[in-house]
């Protein structure tokens, strides 16, 4: 009986979790492509493993903190905007409650409810929790579940770092003669995985998403490798 009730509980935060998962996939994808471009480019210029590893680690650290900082600033701005909208909504509920209730009823009427039922729903929701009801319906904001800038920052930092480790370890742990190919293979595998996951999350065509992902990664490595060859020495 308990399991049956639990199975039918509303999943209120599914959309938020999917957004974090999607952001994590994109962060990992960025880490793979960015650091792969760096290490392959340096490998095209020199056979010095220390130089390649140093450049890769620097790219990982810089990219991870850059993404984390960008996410923190972006989500902080979003959170400030959400708080400002909630303050305004709270003020309107206090100063003109009848008008706000009519506005809420009109929203539900526009969604297909009859005028009578829409008024009843608006009245009952307003009596229970006016800010929650109006914020969700009018603004699309859950006052109890605002976006977290620190969570976004940490998620981006970790996702980028995990993705970046794939080409870095592949090129660091293989011999000079095959390390560029080993890195390319690791990148293709990683981008295939992130392309598959992002396609499933977005209900897109898996094959197209994977081809797009792998194509961008391959082009990045090809260009950076020949830039390294042009400005340095060839791979020994």
Whether the CB-CB separation of 89 and 174 falls below 8 Å is answered with no
CA atoms of 186 and 181, how far apart (whole Å): 9
pLDDT of residue 197: 83
Whether the CB-CB separation of 31 and 163 falls below 8 Å is answered with yes
pLDDT of residue 35: 92
For residue 228, pLDDT over 70 is answered with yes
Question: Tens of pLDDT along 171-206?
Answer: 888 888 888 888 989 999 988 988 888 788 777 788
For residue 65, pLDDT over 90 is answered with yes
pLDDT of residue 218: 85
pLDDT of residue 64: 93
- What pTM does this model have? 0.74
pLDDT of residue 18: 57
Angle between helices 49-95 and 97-110 (to 10 degrees): 120
CA atoms of 14 and 18, how far apart (whole Å): 6
Name the more confident of 101 and 6.
Answer: 101
CA atoms of 157 and 149, how far apart (whole Å): 12
CA atoms of 219 and 68, how far apart (whole Å): 26
Share of the chain above pLDDT 70, in %: 88
Question: Tens of pLDDT along 128-160?
Answer: 888 888 888 878 887 877 778 888 888 889 999
pLDDT level of residue 234 (50, 70, 90 thresholds)? very low
Q: What's CA 151's distance to the chain center, in Å?
A: 11
Mean pLDDT computed over 46-57: 89
pLDDT of residue 196: 87
CA atoms of 87 and 210, how far apart (whole Å): 44
For residue 7, pLDDT over 60 is answered with no
Question: Tens of pLDDT along 83-117?
Answer: 888 898 888 888 888 888 888 888 888 888 888 88
For residue 1, pLDDT over 70 is answered with no
Burial letters 149-167, b for 16+ CB under 10 A, else e:
beebbebbbbbbbbbbbbb
Q: Domain segments of the chain: what residues?
A: 16-231
pLDDT level of residue 236 (50, 70, 90 thresholds)? very low
Average predicted confidence (pLDDT) for the chain: 82
Taking the CB of residue 72, how many other CB atoms lie within 10 A of it? 19
């Amino acid at each position: 009986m308990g399991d049956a009730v639990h199975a039918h509980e509303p999943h209120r935060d599914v959309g938020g979790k999917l957004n974090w998962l999607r952001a994590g996939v994109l962060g990992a994808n960025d880490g793979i492509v960015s650091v792969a471009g760096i290490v392959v480019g340096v490998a095209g210029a020199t056979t010095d493993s220390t130089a390649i590893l140093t450049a890769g680690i620097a790219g990982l650290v810089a990219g991870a903190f850059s993404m984390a900082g960008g996410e923190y600033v972006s989500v902080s701005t979003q959170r400030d905007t959400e708080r400002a909208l909630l303050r305004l909504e709270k003020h309107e509920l206090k100063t003109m409650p009848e008008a706000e209730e009519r506005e809420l009823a009109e929203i539900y009427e526009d969604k297909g409810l009859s005028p009578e039922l829409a008024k009843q729903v608006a009245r009952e929701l307003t009596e229970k929790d006016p800010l929650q009801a109006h914020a969700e319906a009018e603004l699309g904001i859950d006052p109890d579940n605002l976006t977290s800038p620190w969570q976004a920052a940490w998620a981006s930092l970790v996702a980028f770092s995990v993705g970046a480790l794939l080409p870095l370890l592949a090129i660091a742990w293989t011999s000079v003669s095959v390390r560029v190919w080993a890195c390319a293979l690791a990148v293709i595998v990683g981008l295939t995985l992130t392309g598959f996951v992002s396609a499933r999350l977005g209900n897109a065509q898996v094959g197209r998403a994977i081809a797009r992902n792998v194509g961008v990664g391959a082009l990045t490595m090809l260009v950076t490798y020949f830039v390294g060859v042009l400005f340095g020495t060839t791979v020994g």
